[in-house]
């Protein structure tokens, strides 16, 4: 995702009341915020320092406890953890070259993905993207919790 697009999505999401958004939009917003957070968290400590926030001044407003840094728990709405957070963390750790895609080689430590690589690689490009993993994960959800497609 490009930086201007991420910033635009953040501005739009902050401008709209949460109650006015449908659950699918909220889940998509949470996922995008989580992706942005992890991309900006260069040292992987779970906190965005002022240097990490350069170019994203609106993110500073998420510092709820006023300590000068934005923590993941401050980004996630209270009582509403990011769905897919663990999946994103595992994906990020496996993505050794940081290109946002998992090659078959990068899934060597993820046997569940490696053994069924073709099922996850929905577009058959030889890589598994986070979006493909999220789509697969959503397809496994009980029918009443699935987002409309």
Q: Please give the domain boundaries of the chain with CATH numbers for all domains.
A: 1-83 (1.10.238), 85-149 (1.10.238.10)
d(CA 62, CA 72): 10
pLDDT digits (tens, 9 = 90+) for 64-119: 788 888 887 777 654 544 556 677 778 888 988 988 899 999 999 888 889 989 99
pLDDT digits (tens, 9 = 90+) for 20-68: 445 667 677 777 887 888 888 877 777 888 888 888 888 888 887 888 8
Neighbours of 30 (CB within 10 A): 20
Confidence of residue 7 (pLDDT cuts 50, 70, 90): low
In the numeric block, the tokens 């999401």 are attached to 13
Name the region of 77 (left: φ>0; alpha: ψ -120 to 50; beta: rest).
beta
Mean pLDDT of the chain: 75
State the number of CA atoms in the 13 A half-sphere of 105 facing the CB.
2
């Amino acid at each position: 995702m490009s930086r201007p697009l991420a910033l635009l999505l953040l501005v739009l999401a902050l401008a709209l009341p949460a109650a006015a958004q449908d659950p699918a939009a909220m889940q998509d917003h949470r996922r995008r915020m989580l992706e942005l957070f992890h991309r900006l968290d260069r040292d992987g400590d779970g906190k965005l320092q002022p240097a990490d926030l350069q170019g994203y001044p609106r993110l500073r407003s998420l510092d709820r406890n006023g300590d000068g840094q934005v923590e993941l728990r401050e980004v996630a709405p209270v009582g509403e953890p990011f769905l897919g957070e663990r999946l994103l963390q595992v994906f990020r750790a496996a993505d050794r070259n940081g290109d946002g895609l998992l090659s078959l080689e990068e899934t060597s430590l993820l046997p569940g993905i490696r053994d069924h690589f073709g099922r996850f690689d929905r577009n058959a490009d030889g890589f598994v993207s986070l979006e493909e993993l999220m789509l697969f994960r959503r397809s496994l959800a009980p029918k009443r919790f699935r987002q409309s497609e």
